[in-house]
Amino acid sequence: MNALEATTRYFKRASKLLALDSKVERSLLIPFREIKVECTILKDDGTLASFVGFRVQHDNARGPMKGGIRYHPEVEPDEVNALAQLMTWKAAVTNVPYGGAKGGIGCSPRDLSIHELERLTRVFTQKIHDLIGVHTDVPAPDMGTNAQTMAWILDEYSKFHGYSPAIVTGKPVDLGGSLGRDAATGRGVVYALKALLADHGKSIAKQSYVIQGFGNVGSWIAQLVHEQGGKVKAISDVTGAVKNEAGLDIPALVKHAMETGGVQGFQGADALNPNELFAEDCDVLIPAALGGVLNGENAKDVRAKFVIEAANHPTDPQADEILAQKGVIVLPDIYANSGGVTVSYFEWVQNVQGFMWEEDKVNRELLRYMTKAYLNIKEMCNSHSCSLRMGAFSLGVSRVARATMLRGWEA
């Protein structure tokens, strides 16, 4: 089952739990707009290269559409479509006034020079500039993109529309980015984890952790958990996996990864077969890399008590059922990784108001949003006797459905 089918399936279950009218259900499911553009650039060696860029704008009932832009070889329309839909429910779960969108370019950013990446980003922006906007659709970074990518989009968009810092979030602080945005998704995961563990009478300090992915999200989670006394036993990334039963020295691993490009070869740990990562004995397993990594094959081997979905769609529905049967508690992506979109919202608010916040305020507000969302999800779980995933989906879908019906259907 691909990401689109899985997301649609959870949406339909939520719609049934909420007893939504079938016409409302259909209207919520169909994307507002799907954009596909060809991006041709001159490579550094003088040859031409063509890439396909996508932007799916899913729903705008609750506000401007919001979502990341990823650069990855496996970016394809169905996946982007599913992730756009997830963004709609995610923004609604944390109650930020946004709809959902997602985009990407099918490319391998590691194989492109910085100049080629800049040209590609500018061409993509030229192709979509009249379809995005401060009150229409506001892109953000995702896998394979970063603050620099957002700065290029801001610059290119501003050539057409005048200086517009609120057109993207996750941009450099020097261009109006929010303090705390870089860490926001990882920090939000840790706040979500804190709320979940507290609900089970536990704290971050007493648990052991295994994390897949050591990029923006994974490395912040590792650092924050480590700072709070948690024991991070194993971490993998695209270069390999490392393990230390006594707990990895995370600051040293961050330094190693920055110097060498990945976790492989870290001196303070043993090498681990990345395929065996999910079977490691731990309290909390955190997939923070790719979608679909926990599946019908490997879910039975999971020994963690909690799975925290920091990545988007890391657990396929078959794995979800196996984990539920094993009594593993899964904290779903639409809530767990919503810290990014929440602080993106704070960044956009600061740009629109022209008034910037201290980092302390950003983190305090993030904690407030994440904690409140957890309580709202639990209320849904209690009233519908459902899992955290279905509680979160029902919460998000119910808020979008209410906004859609309140806005009405008159043409």
Ligand X SMILES: NC(=O)c1ccc[n+]([C@@H]2O[C@H](COP(=O)([O-])OP(=O)(O)OC[C@H]3O[C@@H](n4cnc5c(N)ncnc54)[C@H](O)[C@@H]3O)[C@@H](O)[C@H]2O)c1
Q: Active-site positions?
A: 102
Give Cβ neighbours of residue 286 (< 8 Å, ≥ 6 apart): 189, 209, 210, 211, 212, 218, 221, 307, 308, 310
Pick from 337, 342, 363, 398 the residue near ligand X by CB under 6 A.
Answer: 337
Complex with ligand X: residue 302 or 386, whichever CB lies closer: 302
Considering just the CA atoms, what is the radius of gyration of the chain in Å? 20
State yes or no: residue 81 binds ligand X (CB under 6 A).
no
State yes or no: residue 223 binds ligand X (CB under 6 A).
no
State yes or no: residue 142 binds ligand X (CB under 6 A).
yes
Q: How far is CA 160 from CA 91, 130, 163, 172, 392, in A?
A: 28, 9, 9, 21, 39
For residue 175, the minimal CB distance to ligand X (Å) is 17
Q: What are phi and psi of 348, to 5 degrees?
A: -60, -45
Pick from 20, 143, 334, 392 the residue near ligand X by CB under 6 A.
Answer: 143
Complex with ligand X: residue 208 or 337, whichever CB lies closer: 337
**Residues from 295 through 334 that contact ligand X (CB under 6 A):** 310-312
For residues 338 and 313, give the distance between their C-alpha atoms in angstroms, rounded to a whole number: 13
DSSP E strands: which ranges in 163-276? Answer: 208-212, 231-237, 240-243, 270-272
DSSP one-letter string for 63-83: SSEEEEEEEETT--HHHHHHH
For residue 410, the minimal CB distance to ligand X (Å) is 36
Residue 259 CA, chain-centre distance (Å), reads 26
DSSP reduced 3-state for 379: helix
Residue written as token pair 């990407």: 104
Encoded one letter per residue, x for contact with ligand X by CB under 6 A and - for no contact, window 183-202 reads --x-----------------
For residues 188 and 192, give the distance between their C-alpha atoms in angstroms, rounded to a whole number: 6
**Residues from 14 through 33 that contact ligand X (CB under 6 A):** none
For residue 30, the minimal CB distance to ligand X (Å) is 23
Q: Do the Cβ atoms of 370 and 188 come closer than 8 Å?
A: yes
For residue 210, the minimal CB distance to ligand X (Å) is 12
For residues 236 and 148, give the distance between their C-alpha atoms in angstroms, rounded to a whole number: 25
For residue 307, the minimal CB distance to ligand X (Å) is 14
Q: What are phi and psi of 93, to 5 degrees?
A: -65, -45
Piece in contact with ligand X (CB under 6 A), picked from 124-132, 171-179, 231-239, 375-383: 231-239
Encoded one letter per residue, x for contact with ligand X by CB under 6 A and - for no contact, window 239-278 reads -----------------------------------x----
H-helix or E-strand spanning residue 157: helix 147-161
Q: How many residues bind ligand X (CB under 6 A)?
A: 24
Complex with ligand X: residue 100 or 215, whichever CB lies closer: 215
State yes or no: residue 214 binds ligand X (CB under 6 A).
yes
Pick from 99, 100, 103, 218 the residue near ligand X by CB under 6 A.
Answer: 218
For residue 287, the minimal CB distance to ligand X (Å) is 8
Residue 209: strand pairing partners: 232, 284
Piece in contact with ligand X (CB under 6 A), picked from 32-40, 172-180, 208-216, 297-305: 208-216
Encoded one letter per residue, x for contact with ligand X by CB under 6 A and - for no contact, window 166-185 reads -------------------x
Complex with ligand X: residue 236 or 398, whichever CB lies closer: 236
Residues in touch with ligand X (CB under 6 A): 141-144, 185, 212-218, 236-238, 274, 288-290, 310-312, 337, 340
